[in-house]
Chains A and B, each alone.
Chain A
Amino acid sequence: MTLTDIPTSSSGARGPAAPYDELIEAQRVHGSLYTSPAIFADELEQIWYRTWVYVGHVSEIAEPNDYVRKNIGPQDVIMTRSADGEVHLLLNRCAHRGNLVCEADAGNSSSFRCPYHGWTYRNTGDMLGYPFHGGYGGRGKLDLGLGRVPRVGIYQGFVFGSFAPDGPTLEEHLGEAKGEIDRLVRLSPEGEVEITAGFLKHKARANWKLLAENETDGYHPQFVHASIFSVAQSGIGALYGEKSTAVTRALGNGHSENDLRPEFRRIGAPLGWFGTTEEKVPEYSAAMRARYGDAAEEILIEGAPHVMIFPNLFIAEIQMFTIQPLAANLTVQHVTAVQFKGAPEMNKRMLQQCIGSVGPAGMLLADDTEMYERNQAGVAELRPEWLDVRRGVHREEIDERGLTVGGATDETGMRGFWKHYKHLMTEGRAQ
């Protein structure tokens, strides 16, 4: 399969939809990048239907023949596990006349039967059969399978798909962000996360990039979230203050993080990052110390990552978001609580804390989303045309890993995002 075989919004490679070199400068970006339907269509081809995109987690299809409906942007993708344990990403479209073949959100089945004329497919995507076969000259005459996402990559149980038949490997794409996923899974006494709590789906009438940029924007929390910080006696606000020792780091390939470890190390309390203590979760603490020995102390002090993995996976400590772009001005955030394998005591707390924070009624995310929507309305105004992303550029440093690091409230993550975006949309375009 080649890229042009994939059902995209247009046929084949085209020229750039806009002069990206002029629209993306080092310290400012043009408003039309958020509003133009032509740019959105170009992004689908050059980013969403090409680079590695996070799709789902292996724990969502734990058993042979489990499946769950996911997405890559507007594409409806069925993530399946075949009887041999392999993970497949199939497009939800019958090879006969294009009907949806799967209407359930999740289930267990070795095959899919299209309800329209009864064509059947294995959960590997291979064709099984078609009724009244005389009309095709007999059995086994057709070999029309479901569309597939040609490359499937799995890192620590996180399943990614790429519509490009070749290109960087998943590990090359993740690069320095791998270590952040490692930091998350090591908080499980069994070294694995599980995604079992189901997702809230929260609509934002805004461009997906406003969400992606906000995820590691350490400048906004004290303003957007002041209401909840003040009534919940939350320590989060201080992590994103002027005096915070936390840093913002561009991880390369458009990934970025708010590295809060300097603050958590300064506080020096195991589970302080989660606002609790070992005494309150004794079984979890014992299991962690049994598994990691002396290293457990540091793991429990440093806590979970706050990382945005380009273009659509955001891990905010105990919360996992995926960003689904549907139009230049419409995005869906899918969000769930991270659950650690072998940690029921922690999982209950993480779930309830997550529910309070995220989703349509979340005490944090309702306000972030209000900003996304007002931001979308604002960037449609004609002047002054540009969005400023210069914050902290004068105080950035290069760390020992060669990565750019800014202060806790600096726009270092956004600049890293735009650098990668610009590469993909210009010299790095699909040929």
Chain B
Amino acid sequence: MTAAATAIPTDAEPTQLDVRDVEQFLYREARFADEHRYDDWEALWTQDGLYWVPANDDDADRMAKMSIIHDNRSRIATRIRQFQTGRRHSQVPHSRLRRVVSNVEILGNAENGDLEVGANFVLVESRERSNELWAGRYTYRLRVVDGAIAMSYKKVALVDNARAIATLSFLI
């Protein structure tokens, strides 16, 4: 799959969604990630999706600075296919994960009309190496594609993204 720029609905009406529907979407996305349901998780993305975990500065220039994750749609697909080989050692066995998503807030519309949503999260990861506590701020951009909510953007601003952190090979 490739990042299809044609999927951006430039003259579409700005996306409007009920906060309850938004929450349901975020909880489902979180559950698919926690349970390593890779195909289900990937299906939530639009064709122009961008998955971004900045480093050092939440608002870093992602075209000029290192990021922890900076996946366009094509690289999201590669990441998923890597998990599905069963030989992504840092996820064999899977980390046990549970996250709480809260403070869900509709922030307005992005330039392309997508609905921008913020939320906070706390996540516990358990694996043989250690337990890790991950926390931060999610920013999503959502739009309706074929009658279902889909995400075109997910940014994860970790509270400790400027510090040394452990391997983060699951879907955050």
Which residues of A does B touch, CB under 8 Å? 105, 196-203, 205, 224, 226-228, 230-232, 332, 335-337, 348, 351-352, 354-356, 359-361, 363, 366-367, 369-371, 373, 377
Contact = CB atoms under 8 A, between A and B. Distances in A.
Given A201-B165, A202-B167, A226 B65 contact: no
B17 to A, nearest CB: 29
Interface in B138-172: 162-169, 172
Contacts of A332: 164
A226 B87 contact: yes
Nearest to B171: A361
Interface in B56-83: 56-57, 60, 63-71, 75, 78-79, 81-82
Contacts of B79: 363
Contacts of A360: 68, 165-169
A359 B89 contact: no
A355 B70 contact: yes
Contact of A366 (B75, B167, B172): B167
A95 B67 CA distance: 37
Given A200-B55, A356-B75, A371-B89, A228 B164 contact: no
B20 to A, nearest CB: 32
> Quick one: which of A202, A205, A232, A361 has the most chain B CB within 10 A?
A361
B56 to A, nearest CB: 5
B168 to A, nearest CB: 4
B90 A370 contact: yes
A231 B168 contact: no
What 4 A-B pairs have minimum CB-CB distances, sorted nearest first? A201-B164, A370-B90, A360-B168, A366-B169
Nearest to B79: A363
Contact of A367 (B88, B128, B130): B88
Given A227-B87, A361-B168, A366-B168, A205 B129 contact: yes
A224 B164 contact: no
A105 B57 CA distance: 12
B53 interface: yes
B64 A196 contact: yes
A203 to B, nearest CB: 4
A231 B85 contact: yes
Interface of B: 53, 55-57, 60, 63-71, 75, 78-79, 81-82, 85-90, 128-130, 162-169, 172
Given A363-B78, A367-B89, A371-B89, A203 B66 contact: no
A230 to B, nearest CB: 6
Contacts of B163: 201
Nearest to A360: B168
Given A231-B81, A361-B169, A198 B65 contact: yes
A361 B79 CA distance: 10
A370 B70 contact: no
A337 B80 CA distance: 24
A363 B66 contact: no
B68 A361 contact: yes
B52 to A, nearest CB: 10
11 contacts: A105-B56, A196-B64, A198-B55, A201-B163, A205-B130, A226-B85, A227-B86, A230-B85, A360-B165, A361-B68, A366-B90
A430 to B, nearest CB: 29
A108 B63 CA distance: 24
Nearest to B53: A361
Contacts of B166: 202-203, 205, 360
Nearest to B86: A227
A44 to B, nearest CB: 18
A231 B55 contact: no
B167 A369 contact: yes
A361 B125 CA distance: 14
B82 A227 contact: yes
A332 B164 CA distance: 7
Nearest to A326: B164
Contact of B167 (A232, A370, A377): A370
Given A228-B78, A370-B89, 16 more contacts: A197-B65, A202-B165, A205-B130, A226-B87, A230-B87, A231-B78, A337-B66, A352-B70, A355-B70, A356-B71, A360-B166, A361-B169, A363-B79, A367-B169, A370-B169, A371-B89
Contacts of B86: 227
B59 to A, nearest CB: 13
A416 B71 CA distance: 38
Contacts of B55: 198-200, 359
B63 to A, nearest CB: 7
